[in-house]
Structure 1
């Protein structure tokens, strides 16, 4: 499957605790609960949602991207309770170079439970095994230690800091970049982490 086919088909992904599927307007209130939190949105590019309408417009944008097959973004839902708690996506693709970048956001009610590591593991697996990517990377604010722990837990390597490379949240931000290569992923599968 190539990237265009993946965006068109947008397959669901499942893990022991999670169902990852397309976002819908049924997720509006659950999504607003965390996108309106300053703690949660501290390290993401978009501003904190002030009203339900802000979140509605955000979902509108996601749905428009689905329609034109330009978005591979999964809503993260707990299988046990069906609660919608975040999103994870391939935020960018470079088909010529066979690489992609992941990004994610999770309700702070579920931080520290390995939820995002579980979701990211599955998306990375999809990227390498189904999309046949060579490289998957992620960027985080330098201060976002929690996100960096997630990336390290899923086997990514810290490559360096892009100093003052993005103007976000009213200032120039230092951005840390992490990556994992297909060969490294295959090695991890054959020699699982303890």
Structure 2
């Protein structure tokens, strides 16, 4: 059985119409900090707002270590025209035995409501089903995160229900909406 990690030994790079999905590097720290420092961006995430470039550098060090040890790491979302990092996307968890993975993502608020994340997620779903052999791809969002729910719906994911007190984040247990798409649904996209 192929493990998802095997597909990241040589990090996969993709392009969409407006973005390039590639490794994150130290040269991205200013771009990343420019959106991670805003509470509106981190409001529904499990991570805290970056207080300084040191927080951003610490995250990038964590990511680079994952790449160096050939573990699954996030794609940096580079705006092709502006040539700058505007977000990231990754498989945040996976179950090789059951051929299932969960997506997580963040996008600079400057690019919200313009279809960028839907464009990226569609490409990652395609990779998940066609290259990784996944059968199910999931994503979750905070109950109030309407933008993220909209991304999931636009990419073909179906709402499955609310997972009560599912995640500990920001000092409290949070309820989340669960969405998924299965390989059988994928050709319909």
TM-score under structure 1 normalisation? 0.94
The match for 2:128 is 127
Larger CA deviation: 6-15 vs 144-153:
6-15
* Alpha-carbon offset, residue 2 of structure 1: 4.5
- 1:88 pairs with 2:89: yes
CA separation in 2, counterparts of 1:94 and 1:117?
Answer: 24
Q: What displacement does 1:72 show?
A: 3.4
1:10 aligns with 2:11: yes
Structure 1 unpaired stretches of 5+: 190-194
When residues 165 and 4 of structure 1 are mapped into structure 2, their CA distance, relative to the original with a 3 A threshold, is closer
Partner secondary structure for residue 76 of structure 2: strand
1:60 aligns with 2:61: yes
The answer to whether 1:167 aligns with 2:165 is: no
Shift of 1:124: 0.3
Runs of 4+ in 1 over 4 A off after TM superposition: none
Deviation at 1:167, TM superposition (A): 2.0
Residue 146 of structure 1 aligns with which residue?
A: 147
Give distance in 2, aligned partners of 1:70 and 1:93.
Answer: 12
Query: Bigger shift: 118-127 or 63-72?
Result: 63-72
- Following the alignment from structure 2 to structure 1, what is the Cα–Cα distance between the partners of residues 167 and 182? 25
May I ask how many residue pairs the two structures share in their alignment?
188
Contact 2:168 2:174 in 1 (8 A): yes
**Structure 2 residue aligned with 1:192:** none
Q: 1:157 — aligned with what?
A: 158
> How many angstroms apart in 2 are the aligned matches of 1:125 and 1:75?
17
2:179 aligned partner: 178
Note the alpha carbon deviations across 1:57-101, whole angstroms, 9 max, x for none. 000000111111222310000111111100000111110000100
Equivalent pair of 2:101/2:137 in contact (CA under 8 Å): yes
Conserved in 2, the CA contact under 8 Å of 1:6 and 1:72?
Answer: no
